[in-house]
Amino acid sequence: MTGFREEIRAWLREQLEGEFAHARGLGGPGREHEGHEVRLAWERRLGEAGWTCLGWPRRYGGRDAPLADQVAFHEEYARADAPARVGHIGEGLIGPTIIDFGTEEQKRRFLPPIRRGRELWCQGYSEPEAGSDLAGVRTRARQEGGEWVLTGQKTWTSLAHVADWCFVLARTESGSRRHAGLSYLLVPMDQPGVEVRPIVQLTGTSEFNEVFFDGARTAAGNVLGAPGEGWRVAMATLGYERGASTLGQQIGFQREFDRVVETARRTGAAEDPVLRDRLVRSWLELRIMRLNALRTMTSPSAGTPGPEASIAKLYWSEWHRRLGELAQAVQGRAGLVADGPPYELNDLQRLYLFSRADTIYAGSSEIQRNIIAERTLGLPKG
Ligand SMILES: Cc1cc2nc3c(=O)[nH]c(=O)nc-3n(C[C@H](O)[C@H](O)[C@H](O)COP(=O)(O)OP(=O)(O)OC[C@H]3O[C@@H](n4cnc5c(N)ncnc54)[C@H](O)[C@@H]3O)c2cc1C
């Protein structure tokens, strides 16, 4: 084991056996509502100890950590069953975008609170008529009295109910169409012109929301990149969405898989030849995923967005959804009944229900297949 990995492991053990023992495992998929306050305190503790934003440059408070170290961090984090992060959108999406496109003033203003867990972010891209077809956004913003004024609606906005800021893709040039005339605005959430309405998901909880802008305001300087060039900035953010944390997630997957196998042993499902076959297949595919991640980490283009990112997203999300189905199957009929009233779910039921979303967010499977078809196989546009 490398010194770096040992250091992370020791630090996590000390914290999660000590002051944060009660935070272990809080807030996983379908359990996002759990322990927000303690997870926020945890985010701040990580920041104080220098365990957030490892891949950021040192001059912005990161460690310039190579991809392999970042992945090691995510692996150890999952192995320790540390609480689900509340600051991942800031660290993984908007932070790197600000580093690449922000002015020095924007970097000074926005990066330190992300790194310290003092400000949380959400992503305002999708709208009711603009999901896969993001260029169809209709939310508008115009300049008035030194501010941008926004009107429109976003939807499926993860963590908007706890976020301090939202990065919003909005149409700022009237009469513009598609990719032109969009701007990437940084909008404070706590103001009268912003209303957040939770959407109840299959798990019975609300990880995402509808967000309504009705005269919401943000300073004229809170635009990332030039006004009208929001599409380029928005695409860069999407490129970060499949970074180091994705490569490190197999440890968490292995834990879920082990739980499915344990249940199969207990219920007798492990003796069913068809289910045994599915379990073995799932394990093999998880091994392939792991080996692929190792290969990606050591390849010269590691961390660069490209068709490989689409292959990886398609592979892990489809695998995870199948694991969710297997988790239901090994429980037998018991899996169809809630653990308690009114809608208490066990971990495997949550896994099944939440993993349905994996093949939708961060670009649906159909969209990933289109990207692979067009950019890798050179097939004509679908
Ligand atoms: C758990 C979760 C969290 C999310 N968090 C956020 C968030 O924080 N911020 C945010 O902005 N968005 C978020 N999203 C939204 C997500 O990005 C969209 O759901 C996704 O892009 C798909 O868009 P849509 O739901 O409008 O579906 P649509 O685009 O309407 O697609 C409907 C169906 O048609 C298929 N389809 C669409 N176009 C094509 C095509 N050209 N070729 C083939 N098939 C096609 C799709 O694959 C899908 O099966 C989240 C979604 C989920 C599930």
CB 204 within 8 Å of CB 343: yes
Residues facing 183 on adjacent strands? 170
- 62 C-alpha to ligand 1 centroid (Å): 32
* Nearest protein Cα to ligand 1, atom 12: 126
Cα separation, 7 vs 338, whole angstroms: 41
Model pTM greater than 0.85? Answer: yes
Pocket of ligand 1 (CB under 6 A): 122-126, 131-133, 156-158, 208, 357, 360-361, 364, 366-367, 370, 382
Residue 182 to residues 1, 92, 137, 140, Cα–Cα distance (Å): 47, 22, 9, 9
Catalytic residue positions? 241
Cα separation, 327 vs 226, whole angstroms: 48
For 229-243, letters b (16+ CB in 10 Å) and e give: bbbebbebbbbbbbb
Length of the chain: 382
- 133 C-alpha to ligand 1 centroid (Å): 8
Structure tokens at 4: 């770096």
Burial of 310 (C-beta count, 10 Å sphere; 0-12/13-18/19+): buried
Distance, C-alpha 45 to centroid of its chain = 21
pLDDT on residue 293: 83
- 161 C-alpha to ligand 1 centroid (Å): 20
Cα separation, 60 vs 53, whole angstroms: 9
Cα separation, 186 vs 102, whole angstroms: 11
Q: Would you write out the chain's pLDDT as a tens digit for each of its 382 residues?
A: 679 999 999 999 999 999 999 999 999 878 888 899 999 999 999 999 999 999 999 999 999 999 889 989 999 999 999 999 999 999 999 999 999 999 999 999 999 999 999 999 999 999 999 999 999 999 999 999 999 999 999 999 999 999 999 999 999 999 999 999 999 999 999 999 999 999 999 999 999 999 999 999 999 999 999 999 999 999 999 888 766 677 778 889 999 999 999 999 999 999 999 999 999 999 999 999 988 888 877 776 665 666 778 888 999 999 999 999 999 999 999 999 998 888 999 999 999 999 999 999 999 999 999 999 998 899 998 7
Residue 105 to residues 111, 122, 197, 250, 306, Cα–Cα distance (Å): 10, 21, 32, 38, 30
pLDDT on residue 305: 60
Q: Which residues contact 360 (CB under 8 A, 6 or more apart)?
A: none
User: What count of other Cβ atoms lies within 10 Å of the Cβ of residue 351?
Assistant: 25
Residue to probe by mutation, ligand 1, list 121, 123, 125, 132, most atoms within 8 Å of CB: 132
Structure tokens at 334: 């018991």
pLDDT on residue 195: 98
Cα separation, 309 vs 80, whole angstroms: 27
Residue to probe by mutation, ligand 1, list 126, 321, 368, 381, most atoms within 8 Å of CB: 126
The full 3-state SS of the chain, as one line of letters, equals CCHHHHHHHHHHHHHHHCCCHHHCCCCCCCCCCCCHHHHHHHHHHHHHCCCCCCCCCHHHCCCCCCHHHHHHHHHHHHHCCCCCCCCHHHHHHHHHHHHHHCCHHHHHHHHHHHHCCCCCEEEECCECCECCCHHHCCCEEEEECCEEEEEEEECCCCCCCCCCEEEEEEECCCCCCCCCCEEEEEEECCCCCEEEEECCCCCCCCCCEEEEEEEEEEECCCECCCCCEHHHHHHHHHHHCCCHHHHCCHHHHHHHHHHHHHHHHHHCHHHCHHHHHHHHHHHHHHHHHHHHHHHHHHCCCCCCCCHHHHHHHHHHHHHHHHHHHHHHHHHHHHHHCCCECCCECCHHHHHHHHHHHHHCCCCCHHHHHHHHHHHHCCCCCC
